[in-house]
């Protein structure tokens, strides 16, 4: 066996070490078992709303609702990159300023008090989105605007807005194509910036956006197939716009039942919003994903359940006792006997001494007269 | 008549033509009782005359009938001139225009060393460890001693006055360490005779705090006295020692996990690789004291002195690996997100192993981080439970108490629960001043820090004794182990980055490659090759330095903000851009060329007909 901690005592602990080794190995194995249910150690989320203007209220409400769920299930703000145009809450046309509701009758204000938007307004561009994904940000970008994931991170990417066959419109002025998105994911894979990635898109013809993916460990869900439109859920007559999209509404209903220790898996997520409720046909793609979707928990992507290990050993730091000087550390006798005294450097006399001598001299010359000065100089 | 705009359209002036006669002649046709007002314009007469030239003039020749095309009749020299003009324009467009268009729409791509980069794809790493084997007196028989060529014969008698057996081995190790100067990455193995009393009966190998190992072996009984036979006899044991002290197959595959197919590494090494941080140029370490109950506990922790005494020595030793920045903070009213259960049998509140996973998330929102750097952050939290929930103990899966009362999360950090209920009685005046015993706390944090930084807790093979590092934090051979795996990891990551960057730049022909990117790539490739050479030569420290250079240059090149490939143009967009520009220009040229060609052909046909 092997020992840590205090000094070594031979001959005594042989049997103990044998036991401790086997116990240690068993523990190690148990630990290893728990680790390997999934390969990730941290979770990230990139939530993007690609529309602006008042009549796209529902897209902002979609994104904020997913943001709320993800925070509730444990992912901290430092691990969420939220990109919103953020022009709803303080819009002149909002009858209830500083709020964004996700359900009619204004039941749930998803804007809340502690929403942390990382990219707002005109910063939500295709370029910034791709920069966040690939990590090619200028060096002055603060930490909160970066996706600092590593090879054991599970990332959730949620996009919502107006889309078409093979593209997604960003803020009414530019678009991102499915080829660019697939290339960006490949770049992420090359640098191992994710362990597994879940891509959810709630736009018209959303399934076209995941057609071109070719990197491993990607799972994708879309709210509608190619040629279908994704419809909105319900208008609120007081606010005057549609509050949410159908797919995200039913997705949220599903997520409300999930808590951090829940065991629901991805097959349940695929069943969210069937055609009868959603009018469009939601689709999903799992061929690039290595694990079986039935073994992937919802909290693997939407929550942040940490792997934890008990610290079994500590280092014994005895406070401030010097180790007894071993024989070999002491000076050899020859050096001790023949030690020469250390040469001290000569310093000129101190101020006090100088003053004292000046006083003595002054008294002398005062007493005996100044003519004795000539004997000195 | 009011003044009119001079550019009044022609029809209106046609109507008012009668007034022109007045202008020209200078008199107006007077009529009594004229309804028309007099014409006083502010312009002189001659300006009005010039309008005659704007007016449409009648044609001299009669207008041709519609349906009859009038072709201008050109003479032969004019035709020839026309032809040569068309040919000249076409030649100019082709010779000068197309190259100019190509050059001006070209993206600037600095030269990359493609040949050396493709060499990197098939990189073969050779790791060489320098081993010095020292035979103590009594291990070799006399004939062996004569025949074994010794590079150094040292007559050194070491007289030790061992006060107790316990310190003997440590002293011996320390003394032997002072004998030889070991460089980073090398190992010295001392062979001591079988009958030596230095090691206890069951232990064959002792590995000290520095890079020395004591191996007990009987070599004198080996048949054949030459050096190769002696070393062959020792080989299996020495290999075991080296695998413990330097690197073994699992370590290397763990360092290369993302580049390998899954399934090649063992689960233990995979767990180790998940726990430790990946190689990064710097790390930030934050020590936080969480005090949920400031009304009752007033905590004092001398964290600066504790860091100086216990943590900084380890971090200084790790300076060749990465930069560290350490800070500390105290958080008040920070609670764990989990309610502990009261256990009457232990009369304490307990946290079970399952609930520990949910402790970290609510706390993490309150911990700050340094916004300036993107380095990975390690958090070490010291939680002092509030007086209502004291004492708080952590239970493991088997419902047993954990001695350290601490747990850690891979790639995040550790949390220790420090109970202070023993420091005061029931009727003391609150708040109580409590000084935290930093040596106990730092002992736990130090061991967690070692795990996070990559010093694995692999078990030693049977018969081995590994000396604990103690106050120094890490033994030199442990550091060497880390340096080996880090060098390999850095080399692998850097070469993967460079090759994938080269592939990306090849695939997308539109990306601009600036000079600084090319420079970074070139320096990364040079540093990589130097690192591989140093690893082959066995100079671990230099190899690590070069590999760090390589990885930082390759990361800077790969993540350069200018390499954004927002340049996917579908084909229809390309047509839509170029057709309105080039079609109006090219069609006349092409048609005139065609016409010339047809005329020439006709001409030739006529000539041939004439000849015939």
Q: What is the pLDDT of residues B306-362, one digit of tens each?
A: 999 889 989 999 999 999 999 999 999 988 888 888 888 888 899 888 888 888 888
Closest alpha carbon within chain A to B278? A150
Q: d(Cα A280, Cα A224) in Å, to the nearest integer?
A: 5
CB contact under 8 A, B496 and A183: no
Whether A308 sits inside 8 A of B274 (CB atoms) is no
Rounded Cα gap, residues B455 and B320, in angstroms = 15
Question: Between chains, do B404 and A314 touch, taking CB under 8 Å as contact?
Answer: yes
The owner of tokens 């028989």 is B141
Q: Which residues of A touch B473 (CB under 8 A)?
A: 315
Active site residue A162: yes
Cβ–Cβ below 8 Å for B409 and A310? no
Does A172 lie at the interface with B, CB-CB under 8 angstroms? no
Q: What is the pLDDT of residue B32?
A: 46
Yes or no, beta carbons of A261 and B439 under 8 Å apart? no
Q: What is the pLDDT of residue B367?
A: 86
pLDDT digits 0-9 by tens, A143-153 = 999 999 988 89
Output the pTM of the full model.
0.76
Residue of B nearest to A308 (CA): B409
Classify each residue of B28-47 as buried b or exposed e, where b means 16 or more C-beta atoms within 10 Å of its C-beta: eeeeeeeeeeeeeeeeeeee
pLDDT higher at B145 or B405: B405
Contact yes or no for B271 and A35 at CB 8 A: yes
Cα dihedral value A55, A56, A61, A67, nearest 10: -160
Show residues of chain A in contact with B352, CB under 8 Å.
none
**φ and ψ at B395, to 5 degrees?**
-115, 140
- Contact state of A10 with B200 under an 8 Å Cβ cutoff: yes
For A36, which of B267, B500, B564 is closest by C-beta distance? B267
> Virtual CA dihedral for A188, A191, A196, A197, nearest 10 degrees?
-10
pLDDT for B5: 47
Given an 8 Å threshold on Cβ–Cβ distance, is A11 in contact with B201?
A: yes
Task: Classify residue A377 as exposed, middle or buried by CB count within 10 Å of its CB (0-12, 13-18, 19+).
Answer: exposed
- Over residues B33-37, the mean pLDDT reads 50
Mutate which of B408, B552, B561, B572 to test chain A, going by most A C-beta atoms within 10 A?
B561
The per-residue pLDDT for range B104-125, each reduced to its tens digit, is 877 788 888 888 888 888 878 8
Specify the higher pLDDT residue, B157 or B231: B231
> With bands split at pLDDT 50, 70 and 90, how would you rate the model's confidence at B240?
confident
Distance CA B318, CA B283 (A): 11
Share of chain B above pLDDT 90, in %: 24
How high does pLDDT run on average in chain B? 80
pLDDT score, position A19:
35
Q: What is the DSSP secondary structure assignment for residue B437, as one 8-state letter?
A: -
Nearest to A311 among B373, B407, B460 (CB): B407
Which residues in chain A are closer than 8 Å to B402, comparing Cβ atoms? 310-312
A190 in contact with B at a CB cutoff of 8 Å? yes
Report CB contact under 8 Å: B409, A148. no
Give the pLDDT of residue B262: 56
- In which element (H, E) is residue B304 found? helix B303-306
- Whether the pLDDT of residue A23 is over 80: the answer is no
The interface residues of chain A toward chain B in range 196-255, judged by CB-CB distance below 8 A, are none
Q: Which residues of A touch B565 (CB under 8 A)?
A: 180, 183
- Chain A residue at shortest CA distance from B271: A32
Averaged pLDDT for residues A97-111: 84
Chain A interface disruption, residue of B356, B374, B394, B442, most A CBs within 10 A: B374
SS3 (DSSP) at B598: helix
- For B529, residues 6+ apart whose C-beta sits below 8 A from its C-beta are B116
When pLDDT is averaged across residues B128-156 and rounded to a whole number, the result is 68
Specify the pLDDT at position B68.
62
B contacts of A135 (beta carbons < 8 Å): 559
pLDDT for residue B203: 79
Degrees, nearest 5: CA angle B464-B467-B471: 160
Q: Which residue has the higher pLDDT, B577 or A221?
A: A221
Among A74, A138, A317, beta carbon nearest to B439 = A317
Contact between A317 and B310 using a beta-carbon 8 Å cutoff: yes
In the beta sheet, which residues pair with residue B381? B288, B415
CA distance B424 to B429: 9
Q: Which residue has the higher pLDDT, A182 or A25?
A: A182
Mutate to test the interface with B, among A2, A32, A182, A297 (most CBs of B within 10 A): A2
Cβ atoms within 10 A of the Cβ of B422, count?
8
A278 labelled catalytic? no
Tokens of A318: 């005895």
Q: What's the Cα-to-Cα distance from B144 to each of B140, B148, B154, B213, rounded to whole Å?
A: 6, 6, 17, 22
Task: Round the average pLDDT of chain A to a whole number and report it.
Answer: 83
Facing residue for A127 by CB, picked from B160, B406, B564:
B564
| Residue A10 reports pLDDT greater than 50 | no
Banded pLDDT at B244 (limits 50, 70, 90): confident
The answer to whether residue B547 scores a pLDDT higher than 50 is yes
Catalytically annotated residue among A49, A204, A273, A278:
A204
Task: Give the pairing of strands A80-84 and A167-170.
Answer: unpaired
Mark yes or no for CB contact B447/A314 under 8 Å: yes
Q: Exposure of B458 by Cβ count < 10 A (0-12 exposed, 13-18 middle, 19+ buried)? A: middle
Q: Which of residues 301-360 of A touch B (CB under 8 A)?
A: 304-320, 324, 326-328
A22 three-state secondary structure: helix
Which secondary structure element, helix H or strand E, spans residue A284, and what is its range?
Answer: strand A283-285
Q: For an interface test with A, which of B177, B255, B364, B449 has the most A Cβ atoms less than 10 Å from its Cβ?
A: B364
Per-residue pLDDT at B192: 78
> B326 to chain A nearest CA, in Å?
18
CB contact under 8 A, A314 and B170: no
B325: left (phi over 0), alpha (psi -120 to 50) or beta: beta
Kindly list the distances between the CA atom of residue B524 and the CA atoms of A134, B521, B559, in Å, as whole numbers in the listed order. Answer: 20, 5, 14
Instruction: Please tell me whether the peptide bond between B391 and the residue prior to it is cis, using omega within 30 degrees of 0.
Output: yes
The whole-number average pLDDT for the span A101-128 is: 88
| Size of chain B in residues | 612
Residue A313, both tokens = 């050993």
**A153 in contact with chain B, both atoms CB, cutoff 8 A:** no
Nearest to A315 among B171, B443, B459 (CB): B443
B12 pLDDT more than 80: no
Which residue in this structure is represented by tokens 């600037």?
B108
Q: Which of A73, A126, A304, A306 is most worth mutating to test chain B (most B CB atoms within 10 A of its CB)?
A: A306
Bridge pairing between strands A119-120 and A309-310: unpaired
Does A319 sit within 8 Å of B443, measured CB to CB?
no
**Res. B160: pLDDT tops 70:** no
Most confident of A128-142, B119-133, B242-256: A128-142
Q: How does strand B282-291 pair with strand B377-383? A: parallel
Listed in sequence order, the DSSP H helices in chain A are 14-35, 57-72, 126-134, 178-190, 246-256, 266-270, 275-278, 299-302, 333-337, 351-368, 373-376
Rounded Cα distance, A233 and A241, in Å: 10
List, as ranges, residues 247-286 from A with C-beta within 8 Å of B: 260-261
Tell me the nearest-neighbour CA distance from B471 into chain A, angstroms. Answer: 6
Out of A363-377, B67-81, B131-145, B165-179, least confident range: B165-179
Question: Residue B245: is its pLDDT beyond 80?
Answer: yes
Q: Which residues of A touch B406 (CB under 8 A)?
A: 310-311, 314
Q: Is residue A332 very low, low, confident or very high in pLDDT (cuts 50, 70, 90)? A: low
The shortest CB-CB distance from A30 to any of B397, B416, B559 is to B397
Residue A46 has pLDDT above 90, yes or no: yes
CB contact under 8 A, A126 and B364: no
- Beta strand A283-285 with B413-417 is unpaired
Q: Are the C-beta atoms of residues A303 and A271 closer than 8 Å to each other?
A: no
pLDDT at B373 over 90: no
- Contact, B498 vs B199, CB < 8 A? no
Question: Helix A14-35 to helix B267-275 angle, to the nearest 10 degrees?
Answer: 70
pLDDT of residue B184: 82
Length of chain A: 377
Identify the pLDDT of residue B429: 82
Closest to A183 (Cβ–Cβ): which among B371, B465, B565? B565
Searching chain B, which residue's CA lies closest to the CA of residue A174? Answer: B566
CA distance A60 to A54: 10
Residue B264 reports pLDDT greater than 60: no
Q: How far apart are CA B597 and CA B605, in angstroms?
A: 12
* CA B203/CA B244 separation, integer angstroms: 15
B162 pLDDT more than 70 = no
Query: Which has the closest alpha carbon to A96: A77, A85, A109?
Result: A109
Here the ipTM equals: 0.75
pLDDT at B370 (0 to 100): 72
CA angle B561, B563, B567 (to 5 degrees): 125
**pLDDT for residue A238 is more than 90:** no
The β-bridge partners of A222 are A201, A283
Q: Would you state the pLDDT for residue B422?
A: 79
- Average confidence (pLDDT) over B75-86: 86
Highest mean pLDDT among A15-24, A296-305, B10-19, B146-155: A296-305
Task: List the beta bridge partners of residue A242.
Answer: A235
- Asked whether the beta carbons of B341 and B393 are under 8 A apart, the reply is no
């Amino acid at each position: 066996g092997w020992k840590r901690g205090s000094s070594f005592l031979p001959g005594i602990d042989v049997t103990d070490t044998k036991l401790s080794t086997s116990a240690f190995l068993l523990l190690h194995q148990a630990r290893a078992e728990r680790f390997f249910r999934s390969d990730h150690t941290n979770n990230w989320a990139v939530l993007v709303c690609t529309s602006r203007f008042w009549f796209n209220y529902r897209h902002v409400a979609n994104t904020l609702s997913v943001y709320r769920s993800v925070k509730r299930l444990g992912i901290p703000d430092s691990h969420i990159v939220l990109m919103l145009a953020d022009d709803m809450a303080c819009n002149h046309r909002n009858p209830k300023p500083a709020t964004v509701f996700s359900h009619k009758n204004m039941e749930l204000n998803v804007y809340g008090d502690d929403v942390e938007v990382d990219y707002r307004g005109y910063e939500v561009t295709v370029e910034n989105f791709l920069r966040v994904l690939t990590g090619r940000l200028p060096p002055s970008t603060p930490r909160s605007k970066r996706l600092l994931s590593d090879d054991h991170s599970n990332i959730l990417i949620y996009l919502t807005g107006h889309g078409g066959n093979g593209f997604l419109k960003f803020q009414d002025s530019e678009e991102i194509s499915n080829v660019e998105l697939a290339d960006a994911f490949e770049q992420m894979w090359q640098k191992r910036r994710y362990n597994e990635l879940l891509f959810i898109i709630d736009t018209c013809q959303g399934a076209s956006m995941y057609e071109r993916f070719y990197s491993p460990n990607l799972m994708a869900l879309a709210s509608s197939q190619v040629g279908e439109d994704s419809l909105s859920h319900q208008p609120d007559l007081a606010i005057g716009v549609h509050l949410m999209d159908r797919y995200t509404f039913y997705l949220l209903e599903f997520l409300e039942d999930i808590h951090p220790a829940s065991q629901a898996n991805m097959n349940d997520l695929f069943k969210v919003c069937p055609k009868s409720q959603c009018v469009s046909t939601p689709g999903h793609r799992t061929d690039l994903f290595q694990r079986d979707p039935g073994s992937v928990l919802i909290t693997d992507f939407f929550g942040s359940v940490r792997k934890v290990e008990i610290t079994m050993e500590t280092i014994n730091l005895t406070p401030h006792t010097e180790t007894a000087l071993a024989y070999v550390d002491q000076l050899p006798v020859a050096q001790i006997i023949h030690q020469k005294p250390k040469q001290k450097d000569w310093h000129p006399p101190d101020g006090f001494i100088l003053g004292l001598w000046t006083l003595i001299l002054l008294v002398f010359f005062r007493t005996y007269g100044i003519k004795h000065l000539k004997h000195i100089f | 008549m009011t003044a009119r705009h001079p550019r009044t359209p022609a029809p209106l002036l046609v109507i008012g033509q009668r007034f022109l006669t007045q202008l020209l002649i200078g008199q107006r046709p007077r009529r009594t009782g004229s309804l028309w007002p007099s014409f006083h314009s502010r312009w002189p007469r001659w300006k009005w005359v010039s309008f005659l030239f704007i007016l449409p003039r009648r044609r001299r020749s009669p207008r041709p009938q519609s349906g009859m095309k009038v072709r201008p009749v050109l003479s032969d020299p004019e035709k020839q001139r026309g032809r040569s003009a068309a040919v000249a324009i076409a030649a100019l467009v082709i010779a000068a225009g197309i190259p100019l268009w190509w050059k001006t729409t070209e993206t600037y791509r600095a030269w990359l060393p493609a040949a050396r980069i493709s060499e990197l794809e098939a990189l073969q790493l050779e790791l060489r460890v320098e081993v010095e084997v020292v035979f103590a007196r009594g291990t070799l028989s006399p004939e062996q001693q004569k025949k074994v060529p010794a590079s150094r014969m040292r007559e050194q008698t070491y007289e030790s006055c061992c006060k107790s057996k316990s310190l003997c081995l440590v002293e011996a190790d320390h003394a032997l360490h002072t004998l030889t100067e070991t460089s980073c990455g090398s190992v010295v193995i001392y062979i001591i005779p079988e009958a030596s009393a230095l090691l206890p009966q069951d232990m064959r190998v002792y590995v000290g705090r520095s890079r020395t190992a004591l191996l007990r072996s009987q070599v004198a009984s080996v048949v054949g006295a030459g050096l190769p036979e002696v070393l062959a006899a020792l080989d299996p044991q020495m290999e075991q020692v080296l695998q413990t002290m330097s690197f073994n197959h699992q370590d290397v595959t763990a360092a290369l996990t993302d580049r390998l197919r899954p399934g090649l590494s063992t689960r233990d090494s995979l767990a180790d690789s998940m726990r430790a941080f990946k190689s990064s140029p710097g790390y930030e370490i934050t020590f936080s004291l969480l005090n949920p109950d400031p009304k009752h506990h007033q905590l004092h922790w001398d964290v600066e002195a504790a860091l100086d005494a216990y943590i900084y020595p380890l971090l200084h030793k790790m300076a060749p690996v990465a930069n560290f920045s350490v800070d500390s903070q105290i958080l008040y009213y920070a609670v764990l997100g989990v309610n502990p259960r009261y256990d009457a049998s232990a009369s304490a509140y307990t946290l079970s192993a399952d609930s520990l996973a949910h402790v970290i998330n609510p706390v993490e929102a309150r911990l700050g981080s340094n916004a300036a750097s993107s380095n990975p952050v390690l958090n070490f939290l010291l939680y002092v439970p509030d007086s209502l929930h004291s004492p708080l103990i952590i239970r493991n899966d088997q419902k047993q108490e954990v001695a350290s009362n601490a747990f850690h999360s891979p790639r995040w950090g550790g949390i220790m629960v420090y109970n202070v209920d023993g420091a005061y009685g029931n009727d003391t005046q609150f708040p109580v001043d409590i000084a935290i015993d930093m040596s106990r706390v730092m002992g736990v944090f130090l061991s967690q820090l070692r795990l996070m930084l990559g010093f694995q807790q692999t078990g030693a093979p049977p018969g081995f004794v590994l000396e604990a590092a103690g106050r120094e934090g890490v033994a030199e051979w442990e550091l060497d182990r880390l340096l080996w795996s880090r060098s390999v990891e850095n080399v692998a990551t850097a070469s993967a980055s460079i090759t994938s960057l080269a592939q990306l730049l090849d695939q997308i022909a539109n990306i601009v490659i600036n000079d600084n990117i090319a420079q970074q790539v070139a320096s990364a490739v040079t540093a990589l090759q130097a690192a591989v050479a140093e690893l082959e030569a066995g100079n671990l420290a230099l190899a690590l330095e070069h590999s760090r250079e390589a990885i930082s240059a390759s990361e800077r090149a790969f993540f350069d903000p200018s390499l954004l490939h927002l340049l996917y143009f579908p084909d229809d967009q390309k047509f839509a851009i170029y057709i309105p520009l080039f079609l109006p220009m090219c069609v006349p040229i092409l048609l005139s060329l065609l016409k010339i060609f047809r005329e020439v052909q006709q001409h030739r046909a006529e000539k041939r007909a004439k000849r015939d």
